[in-house]
Structure 1
Amino acid sequence: AALFGRSFLSLKLNPTPNIGTKRESPIKIQTNNTFSNIIMCLHLINNLQDKSISLPLTYKQFDCLGIQALINRLVRRNLHEFATKLTKFLNIPADEGENRILVQWAVQEINNPTNTNEESISEIIKSRLENVSGIPFIEIIGAAFLAKKTIVVRRLLDVKVTINDQVDILLTLGDKEEALQRALKSENTDLVLYVLMRIKADESLTDYMLRLKKLKSLPINLHLE
């Protein structure tokens, strides 16, 4: 079968080596890579036909569909584990493969109408993704915000989210006090000023001045301003 398959390749798999040189022919390298890629794809296509996946494709269909579109189909079928194995099998970079799949899984968990316990959703996402490097939690938080699941948003704020993004999200949620406290804790003067200006725009001057008087941890350079 292998010999039969080789006959369809336009290049010879084993060209006659040049006498007196140890360098491998570029044609041989290219052909071997092509052969390996085809075998890898055929192995994957065979796995797609399994009953647990039920996604039969011809090689031509697979080639036209593309890897990313195939991953999207698997994710829509909730076959996240198989999709993740596929990305590892094909050596796809994590940010384009495994991490993207995990983010989509988290978003599906958030948008699942049967998942009404926001505390439980938060814990499931945190326990699975907290120790995975490179996960853009801000995207997951954005999905939770759009789904109006504010508890999920708050629970995920402390998981690998920059202080600037934390403050912006809290201000969007209307939690001015928490946003200000986090900004003060960061000791970032520019960030504190940014929060104060946002608060000032929403409050009367009297309320704003009273808020400033209550703050004991305000940086001295802000007092001077």
Structure 2
Amino acid sequence: GDERLKDAVLACLDAALNTFDPTVQTALLRAASYGKLFCEDVDGDLRDDFVEKCQQVRILHNVRDPAIGLPLTYTQFESLGLETLVHRLVSRHSHQLALKICEAAGLSQQKQRVLEHWACARIRSLAGTEDAAVLGRQIIQKLAICPGMSFGKIAGTAYDCGMKDLATMVLDQEPKANDQVSLLLEMFQDDRALKKAVESRDADLIYEVLLHIKSRLPHEGGGGIKLGSGHSEPQDPQEKKFYSLLRKCPVVLHHLVAYYENTGLDPADKAGRQSIEGLKKVYYELKMEPQAGRIKVVESYMKMDWKQRLRMLEIAKDLFKNDPYVAAATGAQVRLLQIQRKCEADYRSKFVDLSVNATLAKLIRLGHTDRAARIRKEFAVPEKRFWHIQVQTLAEEQDWNGLSTLAASRRAPPIGYEPFIEACVANDSTPEAVKYISKLALPNEKMEWLCSIQCFGEAAEVAKDEKNVDALRYISRCAKGKPVVKRRIDAMIRELGG
């Protein structure tokens, strides 16, 4: 019946696979094809078997050809598998047959390997004899049948064979930026590698290229530059090339600066010092004076000797000449450092590294308020801020007479009396605080402050003078922890008819 006919068709196919005679194979395949016409094949299994085995017959027929020289039996073919067979064909340089087998069997990865091996073999065989541009076009055209294929190994082979132009040409077709950039760096094609990294918009890749290029530079870290003596040009060709790249590509410069800044600019840290040196050299070589001045300021605080620091700040001020505000601020810092050194010499106490405010506070603490006032004018410290500094410093020193003298020096202090009260409270002197609370203009403010420092009796006296029964009731509730005071307050409430 039908099953016996199917078995006969399959038997013809198996026989065709196991014979070496092409004439017999043809006859067996025709018989199988004829018999298949009379078989019911609802699910298509027989059709699929027929197509697969015919394909295998064609493969065996081709590999058994004397030009190929692989007289495989069907059993050997099955044992090897298609991928291994393709590998063997490639190793025998039978690339065309291997490629056809891959296309017929749908082996996309193997197809890429075949094309890659073919291209590498062709480059090796024609190295030094074929024009690089012609050979490159041939390879690119041939490999176009396999979109997305990697060209890295092919470019590497061309480079190893001394065909740098071909390697560069082929590498332009590489779809993966990482592979492309890595090989370009190996080929010392720094410009092109950096260009490809920028085009990829991959920050990590840009950093990788930058650091790789920098690692090749002599005097890494800026050792060859004497800052403050002008903008010296790098003598080494590699350095010139590197800084030329930075000039032409602001994106790359931005990434390099970001790398240094993210590493940190802490002078106390080794990595921070290296970052400072690196930025310093970049800014000086590219004549970026404001940025170089900023680094010079940071670097000045790496110096313990105040004279060296002063000299560096002077250099920074010159570099800021196109930015009047920053130049003035730097000049003010220079003047402050000079004043602090003079104060140290006069009073045998440390002033260097203090801010203007801290310098004023220290002079007040040492009793040199007149000198603090002169410095305050020189640095245009606002009057109110100077008053705040005096109040806070005198209170911290618990110089209550000095604080009282300061308060009395004006009919009304420009900052009011509340800062005096706050300073007294912060330094645990309630009696002094009460003295300044009494000077407040508004009764409500007096009562609030007195209650906040638990002077409920005094607060009640203010409320009584104002005949404010509601305030007295509130103060009475607040004073429940002080029975004697509370009774006195309640008596005031009754006296006022509350």
* Structure 2 match to 1:105: 118
The alpha-carbon distance between structure 1 residues 86 and 189, as it changes in their structure 2 partners (threshold 3 A), is closer
**2:13–2:50 Cα contact (<8 Å) kept:** no
The equivalent residue for 1:20 is: none
After superposition, the Cα gap between the structure-2 partners of 1:190 and 1:99, relative to the gap in structure 1 and judged at 3 Å, is closer
Aligned to 1:133: 147
> What do residues 148-194 of structure 1 show as CA deviations (whole Å, max 9, x unaligned)?
43222111121133333232222212232333344345444333322
> Are positions 1:87 and 2:102 aligned together?
yes
Q: Report the CA distance between 1:209 and its aligned residue.
A: 7.5
**C-alpha spacing 1:171/1:66, structure 2 compared with 1 (3 Å):** same
Three-state SS of the structure 1 residue aligned to 2:165 is helix
Equivalences for residues 142-181 of structure 1 within 5 A: 142-181=156-195
- Note the residue ranges of structure 2 that are not aligned, 5 or more in a row: 1-6, 15-35, 225-233, 262-498
Looking at structure 2, the residues matched to 3 and 186 of structure 1 have their Cα atoms a distance apart, in angstroms, of: 61
Tell me what 1:194 maps to: 208
Alpha-carbon contact 1:138-1:161 (below 8 Å) kept: no
- Match among 54, 58, 81 for residue 73 of structure 2: 58
TM-score by length of 1: 0.71
C-alpha distance in 1 between matches for 2:210 and 2:190? 9
Q: Which amino acid aligns with 2:62?
A: N
Structure 2 counterpart of 1:122: 136
CA contact (8 A) 1:184 1:218 kept: no
Q: Name which structure has the greater RCO, CA cutoff 8 Å, separation 6+.
A: 1
Distance of aligned partners of 1:201 and 1:51 in 2 relative to their CA distance in 1, 3 Å threshold: closer
Q: Distance in 1 between matches of 2:93 and 2:164?
A: 25
8 A Cα contact 2:174 2:180, kept in partner: no
1:103–1:140 contact (8 Å) kept in structure 2? yes
Specify the structure having the higher radius of gyration (Cα): 2
**One-letter amino acid of the counterpart of residue 56, structure 1:** P
One-letter amino acid of the structure 2 residue matched with residue 61 of structure 1? Q
TM-score, scaled relative to structure 2: 0.36
Q: 1:215 aligns with which of 225, 247, 259?
A: 247
* Contact 2:13 2:53 survives alignment (8 Å): no
Counterparts of 1:117 and 1:190 in 2: how far apart (Å)? 38
Give the equivalent residue in structure 1 for 2:11.
6
- 1:90-127 Cα distance to aligned partner (Å, 9 max, x none): x233122x222111111111221666335033222112
Give the Cα separation in 2 of the matches to 1:7 and 1:118. 53
Aligned-pair identity in percent equals 26
- Secondary structure of the residue aligned to 2:106 is coil
Unaligned stretches of 5+ residues in structure 1: 18-22
Count of matched residue pairs: 208
**Residues 187 and 115 from structure 1, CA distance in 2 versus in 1: closer, same or farther, beyond 3 angstroms?**
same
| Contact kept in structure 2, 1:176 and 1:199, CA below 8 Å | yes
Question: How far apart are the structure 1 equivalents of 2:145 and 2:209?
Answer: 30
Instruction: Identify the residue that residue 78 of structure 1 maps to in structure 2.
Output: 93
